[in-house]
Every structure is written in structure tokens, then in C-alpha cells.
């Protein structure tokens, strides 16, 4: 933890060196001592310290300085650090000015020059002031801080990215916190730059304006470029299936890389609670499952590129070559596609315009606290929707689940249905479809079509989370890999037509169970045609596929 700061200011270099020396000698073990020879430079330094979220315990300024005297400096400085103790250093002739400053501008103390010996004329008085400061001192957050607004899609994208990649950060809503003194001081210190939201502030004092996830990823050290250009096994997608394959592959000696476009964990990583995963009787969050899996994969030497995106693939002999979004390429002998699925878009007026500003796809874990005391709408009736509803019910005044069918029985696990029924602030609306989203800067209302009465009801809404099924994103594979009419990848027996092997299949053997129409290219998890859309199933497929990969590699 960074030490609180004692800042001394004097334009006389001899006096400045002396006071700095004495402060370091007595307080150096507990505080950081900084010095400045001009009040103007000291104010700029204080702005930098405010942006870095440092704590200033003491401001000690000489009274007689050109352009700005000590009292004027301390008055300016207190706007940035109002809790810092303010001390004036004066000559005997300035005693009356110092006493007046104590009475009029809340200066805490003044010292006469010279203060020798400091053990008698400096330290006892400062000890009392600093003891008083320490009594109310609360260490500030030392990680990344994000300044933005709740209804900004770019702010939401950035917060969601940091949360899913498990990067600790502090969120500061500059609109909600507009009257908070600490936020005001920070915005004053940033000056005109505070308008370039979202702003990301780092502990080293650097900042990113109008930030996007890719820039933040580079700054926090997330790896987006491969260490080598060849791997035994390359896995596209870092959800449960991809992570399981990586763990089993790397633990058995395969040089393995994962390419993940968002964050390890996939959609499962956004789940607030998974309660039917084997071995966790009390359940666990998707984020916790993803974190454990990432640690396990890295322990076996798996390289994870995130955020990074595969945009194309081709084959050259026994090599499968992946083109990445940054135009770089990596090659491998065995390639696994484990990209899962993406939420299906809700195609009604107003949805696209308000996405990220009250309309969200998926779990929205970063929004749960923001929904405190509000009415939240969850659209969809599968397990993911039920898990989200249970999570929001902890914060929201009421959670309304909108489903098209007559009940949840055919789409949701029984344990979740029972939990929802026992949660008093969750309400189920059946035969309900969202017809339109309304609002200017953010979601304000939604129109709900009741299919059994054919009536539309317009209701107030500030947050709506959509879980209406999912589709694979496999266009990047081009025509190389066989897929069904919805884009899911065909593997194993599903490749056969009229008992015949896939067209252009040149090997004497049949495709393995999880192998595509391209030898050595496998598909697992939700992206695969006919897969069971459950976390445990994806983990199972990812681990089983590694055995087929070993068989394939033994013949390469």
C-alpha cells in the first residue's frame, strides 16, 4: 500500500532542503515526503496525485513566495485534498498573518523559522496533527478506476470487459456521484480531460481517454499476441469446452493455445449461479468456474490470447492456419473450434438503439448493483434467464420474467423454477413478447404484447436483460467446414449422407466422433450440431476430444 504524502513548498532552496530533510528523518518510515520550490508546480503535482488516487496527509508551505503566498496556496490546495492538514512556515515578521490565516482559512498550525531543534519545535506539533489525520484516514482504492455514466454503451462495454477478465476496478458514475466531494475533486484535477468519457485511471498515474477494451487490455498486460507461430493444438474459444480441452491437452504434453475474443469463461462465465454442476453442492458462479479453469490451464502451460479473435482459417497439408484480427497468423496440427453461441438478437423497434443503455444481452452482472430499488425485466425462459432473475432479485425492487409460452416447465430446470416461485419479488408474465423499447438517452419504457389477449401494455422500465436463445458465430470458417442450416458445425456421424463419408474426405478411416469434415479440425460444446447446451456437457466434450486429437496427431 502506498504511503500517505507529506508535501512541503518553499522557494528558498536552503529552507526547502532543511524541512525536507527533517520530515524524512522523522516520518520517512510511515510517509512519503515530496518537495516543490514553487506553489504553481506544487498545485500541478497535487492534481497528478489526485488522479493517481494518492493520499496527502500534510501540506506545509512557506508564507513568503512570489506570485502566490503560502496562505493562497493552501486555500487552492484544500479544494483537491480538503482533509490534509495545512501548515504555514513563517518568519517572525509574518506572525500576525499566520494567526489571521488560522482564524480565517482553517490553517491548522504555523511554525516560525528557524525551527531548531526539530525535536522540540517541529515534531511534537506535527505528531499531533498527523495523529489526528490518521484517526479518520481510510486508505483509497489502489487499482484501476473507470469514470463514465451508467447509460453509456461504451462505459458498459468497458466495465463488462474488465469484470469478465477478472481485472479489479472501481466504477465512478460521474452523473450519480456529481455531488460527491471526492468525485468533484477528481474531475477538477482532470480538467477538460474529464469530458472524454469513459476515462480509465491507472495506479501509476497514466490515463486513457474515451477508452476501449483493446487499449485497456494492452495496458493491464492481457496477452493478445502469440509467443510462437506453431502449436500442437489451437483452440478457438475459451468457454468451458475450450478450457477443458486446453487443460487435458496441455497436461498430456500438447503445446496448446486458446484464442478468446472476449474473456475466458464464455457465456457460462457470465452466469450468476450454476447449481447443478457436479462436485459443487452449494453451486458456484460462472466467473468463479472460469477463474479456476484459467488458473488450472495456465499451470499446465496453456497460452491464452484474450481479447483476440479468429477471422479465418485455411489448411496447408497437415497444418491448420488461423488468421487473427490483428492480421497475424498461428498454425497448428490440430485445431478445435469451441466458440459456443451468441445471444440471438431481439428484432423489435428501439432495441438496437438502446443496447448498452438499459437494454442488455446476457447476465449483466456488472449492472446488478445499479438496479437497486428498480423494476428489472428478464426476457426468456431458459436456465440462464432464471439464474439472472435470481441474481437481480437480490437488488431490484421487482424482477419480471417475460416468456412467450404458458410456463417455464419446458425450458428451465426444476430447481430454478422452484427457487423463482419461492422468491416474492420475482413475477412471471406468460404469453408475453416485447413489442418495442422506448427511451431517448436510455431505456424508459417497454411495450409488451400479450399473445393470449392480443393487447399491448406499455410499462416503465429502466433495465431489460435478454436471453432468447442463441446462435453460433461460424461465418469466419467460410466454406471450409460443413455446417447445418443454422450455422452449427457438423461432426462425426452427422457428416454422413446416405451412408457416405464427407465429400473430399481423403483418409481411410471415418471422421472421429467430434471431428469435422476437415481431418484434424474438431468442434466441441455449444457450437457443435446436436450438442447438449449444458456446462458439464461442454466440459465433457472438450476433454473427450483430446483423446481423438492424440490419435490424429499420431498419424501426422
Q: Please answer whether residues 87 and 58 qualify as being in contact, where contact means their C-beta atoms are separated by less than 8 angstroms.
A: yes
Residue matched to cell numbers 483493446: 214
- Decide if 283 contacts 277 (C-beta within 8 A): yes
Distances (CA, A) of 427 to 274, 399, 420, 447: 21, 6, 8, 17
137, 159, 170, 261, 335 from 202: Cα distances, Å: 22, 15, 11, 24, 37
Of the chain, the end-to-end C-alpha distance in Å amounts to: 53
CB of 468 closer than 8 Å to CB of 346: yes
Pairing of strands 109-112, 144-148: unpaired
Which of these, 497, 499, 476, 494, lies nearest to 484 by C-alpha position?
A: 494
**What does the alpha-carbon distance between residue 283 and residue 266 come to, in Å, rounded to a whole number?**
18
What's residue 469's pLDDT?
Answer: 83
Structural domains in the chain plus CATH codes: 5-135 (3.40.50.2300), 144-220 (3.40.30.10), 230-341+472-553 (3.50.50.60), 351-470 (3.50.50.60)
Q: What is the pLDDT of residue 287?
A: 84
Q: How far apart are CA 339 and CA 238, in angstroms?
A: 7
Give, for 407, the enclosing helix (H) or strand (E): none
How many whole angstroms from its chain centre is CA 465? Answer: 18
- The CA distance from 538 to 284, in Å, is 17
Residue 1 above 70 pLDDT? no
CB 67 within 8 A of CB 36: no
Tens digits of residue pLDDT in 309-355: 999 999 999 999 999 999 999 999 999 999 999 989 999 999 999 99
Q: Dihedral sign, CA of 220, 222, 228, 229?
A: negative
140 or 101: which leads in pLDDT? 140
C-alpha cell at 202: 491507472
**The predicted structure's pLDDT at residue 375:** 94
Question: Is pLDDT at 445 greater than 70 in this prediction?
Answer: yes
Q: What single-letter DSSP state applies at residue 375?
A: E
Half-sphere exposure of 182 (CA within 13 A, CB side): 13
Q: pLDDT grade, residue 179 (50/70/90)?
A: confident
Q: Which three cell numbers stand for residue 32?
A: 512519503
| H helix intervals, 81-122 | 95-105, 118-121
Q: Crossing angle, helix 70-80 and helix 95-105, to 10 degrees? A: 20
Closest CA to 61 of 32, 26, 29, 85: 85
C-alpha 259/C-alpha 306 separation (Å) is 6
Q: What percent of the chain has pLDDT over 90?
A: 72
- Which is more confidently placed, 504 or 124? 124
Each residue of 490-541: pLDDT tens digit? 999 999 987 888 888 989 999 999 999 999 999 999 999 999 888 999 999 9
pLDDT in tens, 379-395: 999 998 999 999 999 99
- Beta strand 455-460 pairing with 445-450: antiparallel
Amino acid at each position: 500500500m502506498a504511503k500517505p504524502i507529506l508535501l512541503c513548498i518553499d522557494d528558498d532552496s536552503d529552507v526547502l532542503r532543511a524541512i525536507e530533510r527533517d520530515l524524512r528523518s522523522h516520518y520517512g518510515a510511515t510517509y512519503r515526503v515530496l518537495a516543490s520550490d514553487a506553489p504553481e508546480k506544487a498545485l500541478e503535482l497535487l492534481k497528478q496525485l489526485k488522479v493517481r488516487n494518492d493520499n496527502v496527509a500534510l501540506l506545509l508551505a512557506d508564507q513568503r513566495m512570489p506570485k502566490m503566498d503560502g496562505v493562497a496556496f493552501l486555500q487552492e490546495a484544500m479544494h483537491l485534498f480538503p482533509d490534509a492538514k495545512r501548515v504555514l512556515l513563517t518568519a517572525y515578521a509574518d506572525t500576525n498573518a499566520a494567526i489571521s490565516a488560522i482564524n480565517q482559512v482553517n490553517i491548522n498550525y504555523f511554525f516560525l523559522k528557524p525551527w531548531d531543534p526539530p525535536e522540540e519545535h517541529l515534531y511534537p506539533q506535527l505528531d499531533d496533527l498527523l495523529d489526528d489525520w490518521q484517526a479518520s484516514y481510510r486508505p483509497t482504492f489502489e487499482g484501476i478506476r473507470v469514470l463514465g455514466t451508467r447509460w453509456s454503451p461504451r462505459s458498459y462495454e468497458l466495465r463488462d470487459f474488465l469484470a469478465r477478465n477478472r481485472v479489479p476496478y472501481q466504477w465512478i458514475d460521474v452523473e450519480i456521484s456529481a455531488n460527491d466531494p471526492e468525485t468533484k475533486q477528481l474531475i477538477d484535477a482532470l480538467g477538460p480531460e474529464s469530458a472524454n468519457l469513459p476515462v480509465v485511471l491507472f495506479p501509476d498515474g497514466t490515463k486513457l481517454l474515451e477508452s476501449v477494451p483493446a487499449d485497456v487490455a494492452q495496458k493491464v498486460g492481457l496477452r493478445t499476441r502469440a509467443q510462437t507461430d506453431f502449436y500442437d493444438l489451437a483452440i478457438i474459444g475459451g468457454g468451458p469446452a475450450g478450457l477443458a480441452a486446453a487443460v487435458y491437452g496441455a497436461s498430456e504434453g500438447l503445446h496448446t493455445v486458446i484464442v478468446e475474443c472476449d474473456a475466458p469463461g464464455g457465456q457460462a462465465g457470465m452466469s450468476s449461479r450454476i447449481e447443478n454442476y457436479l462436485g459443487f453442492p452449494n453451486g458456484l458462479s460462472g466467473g468463479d468456474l472460469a477463474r479456476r479453469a484459467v488458473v488450472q490451464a495456465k499451470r499446465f502451460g496453456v497460452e491464452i490470447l484474450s481479447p483476440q479473435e479468429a477471422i479465418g482459417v485455411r489448411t496447408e497439408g497437415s497444418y491448420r492456419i488461423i488468421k487473427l484480427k490483428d492480421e497475424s497468423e498461428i498454425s497448428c496440427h490440430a485445431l478445435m473450434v469451441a466458440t459456443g453461441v451468441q445471444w440471438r438478437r431481439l428484432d423489435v423497434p428501439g432495441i438496437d438503439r438502446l443496447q448498452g443503455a438499459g437494454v442488455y444481452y446476457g447476465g449483466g452482472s456488472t449492472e446488478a448493483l445499479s438496479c437497486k430499488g428498480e423494476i428489472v425485466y428478464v426476457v426468456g425462459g431458459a436456465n440462464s434467464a432464471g439464474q439472472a432473475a435470481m441474481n437481480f432479485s437480490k437488488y431490484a425492487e421487482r424482477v419480471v420474467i417475460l416468456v412467450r409460452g404458458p410456463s417455464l416447465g419446458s425450458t428451465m430446470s426444476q430447481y430454478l423454477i422452484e427457487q423463482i416461485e419461492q422468491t416474492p419479488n420475482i413475477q412471471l408474465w406468460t404469453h408475453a413478447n416485447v413489442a418495442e423499447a422506448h427511451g431517448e438517452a436510455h431505456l424508459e419504457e417497454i411495450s409488451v404484447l400479450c399473445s393470449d389477449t392480443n393487447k399491448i401494455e406499455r410499462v416503465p422500465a429502466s433495465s431489460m436483460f435478454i436471453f432468447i436463445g442463441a446462435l453460433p458465430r461460424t461465418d469466419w470458417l467460410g466454406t471450409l467446414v460443413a455446417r447445418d442450416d443454422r450455422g452449427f458445425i457438423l461432426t462425426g456421424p452427422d457428416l454422413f449422407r446416405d451412408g457416405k463419408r464427407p465429400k473430399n474426405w481423403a483418409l481411410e478411416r471415418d471422421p472421429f466422433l467430434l471431428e469435422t469434415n476437415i481431418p484434424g479440425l474438431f468442434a466441441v460444446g455449444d457450437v457443435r450440431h446436436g450438442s447438449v447446451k449444458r456446462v458439464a456437457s461442454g466440459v465433457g466434450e472438450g476433454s473427450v476430444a483430446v483423446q481423438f486429437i492424440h490419435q490424429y496427431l499420431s498419424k501426422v
